[in-house]
Structure 1
Amino acid sequence: MRKLAIILGFCLLGSMLTSCALPIVVSNYVDSMGNEEDRKKIEYTDEAKKSGFTLEKPATGAVAGKDEFLIQGSLAESKAGDVLSVWVSKDGLSGKKPVTIMDKKFQDTIPLYYGKGQHQVEIMIEKNGVHVTVAKFTVDKTSDVEQTPVKYSGSYQTNGITLHQPLTGGKSYDGKVLLQGTVVPPSKDEKPLKYMIVHAEKGEDTSRYYLPVENQKFSQWIPLRFGAGDYKVSIWLDEMTDYLTPVADFNVKNTVTADLRDLLPGSGMESDNPELIALSKKITANASSPMEKARAIYKHVATNVSYDLKKKDNYWDDGALKTLRERKGICHDYALTTVALLRASEIPARYISGDAGEPHAWVEAKIGGKWIPMDPTWGSGYSTGKKFVKAYDPSYFNPNPASFKKTHKKPEVEY
């Protein structure tokens, strides 16, 4: 049986600083791992017995895994919203994976981060605000793949979020990364999440996406639109305040060389949707040049969408498909729809967030190597009091630059 003095003595060694920095309450261990045979056992603490913690998988220590392994078990002394903290360590490096407990049971996939060899696994529960170890064992990783831990925040746990894909950072992707998981509120009284927000950053370039949550699940490909290199992908909660609450973040590498920021689909700009591609082809069927195609798309949006004077500022689920279906929207919707149709026609286009006497959105398309502006909202008609009057105006397609700049102030491009 291990002695407390020996455990505390290890903390004085420089090679053990990472492990000893973890918030652990030391307990006497039931089993010992002093030799190879004992290493194959799962080492449970006294606290495991007190709290009713059991592991069904793995059934023994020293199991083997390629890049990950499965844990499954139960915690009798648990309530809604409780989370296990599973720490995976090797050669002084550590990463944590939160595991949600539902109805006193848990099951999750745990990554092995640090290359081939023996990884130490430590499972902890939180008790009275303190993290307490309940079990330890080892897993032998059989692959040489190096991975990095996802960084999770407290809101990940309190909102019942589980990220199934990706399990780790540090991987390479061909232009897009899949975010997939579940959101199960710990309490039935809690309002379910409708969406989360994703940022994909490369240097000073940032793209923003809405991640819908439907039937307690989310699944969406996030484009890496700024060309090859390293990206930070972060997930946030929109608390409808002046700031976002972090959920999780991880790093990835994009292997696609081309910078496709103005051609890839985005939130509300579903340019890869078959319905939108078919519509863009129909709209531009008689156009013989990119300029004529862009003009035809501008006219279609301006004449087929009416301004919604009653719409409120809650537009996380807006998009081109929704706008075309409902045939109404605000400047945000006009711009999303125009950009989507232009990109579906392989014309580079971007959403401009600016000011035209009040916050406003319009579009720029790249034609003949130049960015030309268009404002399909102003080209759609005008308002008289509480009524919108449809009146197509072609002058807001590729307008005189000097005149347009007097009314439209462009502070930023949004991706």
Structure 2
Amino acid sequence: MRLLLFYIVNIKNKDKKDMASAIRTWLKPSLSNDWRVDFMRWSKGLTAGAFLLCLVSACSDDNEEENEAADAAENLNTAYDIEAESLEIEGYGDDIGLTVEAPVQGSFAAEGTFMLEGNIEKHETLNDDYLWVILDTDHEDDTAAGSESFEYFVPIDEDGSFSEEIALHSGEYNHHVSVRVPSYDSGEEDTFYEGVTLDVHNANEEVQREIEYTLLGHEYGLQIERPAKGYIEGEIAVPLAGTLSEASDDHLVMIQVEKDEEESQFTTPVENGEFSIDVPLSFGEGIHTINVMVYVEEEDIYYDAAYLLADAVSDEELVQVEAYEEYYDYGIEMVEPTNTDAYRHEGNAFRVAGDIDPDADGTDEITHMIVTTELEDETANYYLPVDDYAFDDTVWFRFGEGEYDITVSVPEPREEGADYFQFFGVAAFSQEVVGAEDLRSLLPSVGIESDHPRVEEVAEEATEGLSGEREKAEAVYEYVATNVSYDVEKLENNLFEMDDSALKTLEAQEGVCQDYVFLAVAMLRALGMEANYVAGHVGTERHAWVDVKVEGEWLEMDPTWGAGYIENNEFVADYNEDYFDPDEEFLEETHTRTEIIY
């Protein structure tokens, strides 16, 4: 009979008929009919018997694998001189019926990861649906990717079970793991108590951080799809993309980048629940912490939702363009600079360019963008014309070298009759400027197109044959005063426009004080003479006149008052030289200086 069973096991891959036939052939004819009948009854159960034998064989394989895993774990513990300790549930864990099925030991070595699995009997009483797992390491190198602690929020399923593969984030170091369970006390929201602790030595030297999500990140359905891991390397930027299932239509995700004591913040829109952006590694070579933050509308504030680390291999520092909410409302997209451009800029000239979404509300009314540059206490504005929903022009770092703060703004619709313009910032950034000269009184500025060929031509014609700076300044004064008529209607009705300028004044041959000054300063600068727009007032009325540097000394001139006067609400042309380099005390009797506008 032993021989028969051996044969059956070895032919178990045959079907029932083949096996029965084979066995009948194998049996000798001398066997009794009773034996043959008994055997035929027995052979009908061959399929079930063979299946049972297979199950026994599979169970044997599983046991063998488990034994091999246990042996490997024991060998790993031995290799790192770790005395395995049994896992103990803390008091609170006992209270809520916490059981941990894996790991089975409280102290052990692992190859990079381990499974955390178990069940909570009283899970329905808990205030949260997540375990809070905190990993701390004895890694002492604060510059390395694995030096910080790491946190998981492990979901608790409806039946109270939990299962998560825990990565030992810090490389080949000891990791202290605290598994904390949410409180069941109604007065202890967001409170967790320790349920079990583990001491795990990582036998894998690789740093393998996951994306680290906060509890809020889980609640808002945040999922980072790129990058796949929580530690990556990059040159000057890294791609960041993900989904936010609980986002509203106008939701923004805030990105905060930190390195050492430096940090930058910017936002990116969530469209159809998705977001994507290239995150600049702005602060040169080394580890940057990238914090993804979600907006909590009820509190009107952004909170941390996920973290990852990016190691910049380039030592180049980048510009940090901060976009405000209106940036997205108007669908503005900066073309230059962007977050991947260099923070360090050489020279006076600087390009600012961008696009505007034609479908966004209010963009049809945007005729200009305003760029403001600031260096310490000095400020200069530039108006960039918008053509076909795009702007692209040069602004100037006119005050020389240093760190400039730059703001890009959109003008507000001007109220009818207002004699001023208001605007609000949509983006801001800084530039470290080197190799730039202090040319504040020579470079073009708002309304002063001193580098335009037409302005240069008129300036050369007005000063033809003259060599001295004083003669040239007086010739410009005379040209402007005698070729521009005062526009009384513009003054009385505040008919100011953002494109008011020297060129416009040349074409119209009329204007108010600002227009006289625009043209005079533009012509003087075109001749290479330092000149400025002086803002002030005469009595209670705002007024403007000119400063010009002549042979090393500044003098003042007011071509508007040199052009004539107003009588019966009409301009009367009456050229005079009284307001070219007038006596200082004489001018101060009527003119009060407020500021120089660059």
TM-score (norm 2): 0.57
Of 400, 407, 412, 2:590 maps to: 407
Of 263, 273, 276, 2:442 maps to: 263
| Identity across the alignment (%) | 33
Q: Distance in 2 between matches of 1:154 and 1:331?
A: 37
Deviation at 1:375, TM superposition (A): 1.5
Letter in 2 for 1:294: A
Of 315, 337, 360, 1:166 maps to: 337
- Going from structure 1 to structure 2, the CA distance change for 1:219 and 1:95 (only over 3 Å counts) comes to same
Q: Distance in 1 between matches of 2:290 and 2:321?
A: 16
SS in 1 for 2:546: strand
- Going from structure 1 to structure 2, the CA distance change for 1:62 and 1:296 (only over 3 Å counts) comes to same
Does structure 1 residue 380 correspond to structure 2 residue 555? no
Deviation at 1:58, TM superposition (A): 5.7
Deviation at 1:280, TM superposition (A): 2.1
- Going from structure 1 to structure 2, the CA distance change for 1:49 and 1:204 (only over 3 Å counts) comes to closer
Of 208, 218, 241, 2:381 maps to: 208
Q: Distance in 2 between matches of 1:377 and 1:45?
A: 66
Q: Distance in 1 between matches of 2:568 and 2:249?
A: 52
1:294-322 CA-partner distances (Å, limit 9, x unpaired): 22222222233222222225433221122
Of 526, 550, 555, 1:344 maps to: 526
Does structure 1 residue 198 correspond to structure 2 residue 377? no
Of 308, 312, 332, 1:141 maps to: 312
Does structure 1 residue 297 correspond to structure 2 residue 476? yes
Q: Distance in 1 between matches of 2:322 and 2:458?
A: 42
Deviation at 1:272, TM superposition (A): 1.9
Larger deviation: 135-144 or 48-57?
48-57
**1:19 — aligned with what?**
none
Q: Distance in 2 between matches of 1:180 and 1:323?
A: 27
RMSD: 4.1
Q: Distance in 1 between matches of 2:276 and 2:216?
A: 20
Deviation at 1:45, TM superposition (A): 8.7
Of 126, 132, 141, 1:5 maps to: 132
Q: Distance in 1 between matches of 2:253 and 2:359?
A: 14
**2:234 — aligned with what?**
65
**1:89 — aligned with what?**
258
Q: Which structure 1 segments of 5+ residues have no match? A: 16-25
**2:390 — aligned with what?**
217
**1:177 — aligned with what?**
350
Number of corresponding residues: 401
Q: Which structure has more helix as a fraction of its residues?
A: 2
Deviation at 1:263, TM superposition (A): 0.8
* Aligned positions of 1:215-364 closer than 5 A: 215-239=388-412, 245-256=424-435, 258-311=437-490, 312=494, 314-357=496-539, 358-364=541-547
TM-score (norm 1): 0.78
1:113-136 CA-partner distances (Å, limit 9, x unpaired): 222234343444435456466765
Q: Distance in 2 between matches of 1:192 and 1:39?
A: 51
* Aligned positions of 1:18-29 closer than 5 A: none
SS in 2 for 1:352: strand
Q: Distance in 2 between matches of 1:9 and 1:319?
A: 64
Of 281, 288, 291, 1:112 maps to: 281
Letter in 2 for 1:348: E
Deviation at 1:174, TM superposition (A): 1.6
- Larger RCO of the pair (alpha carbons < 8 Å, separation 6+): 1
Larger deviation: 235-244 or 47-56?
47-56
Preserved CA contact (<8 Å) 1:81 1:186? no
Deviation at 1:75, TM superposition (A): 6.7
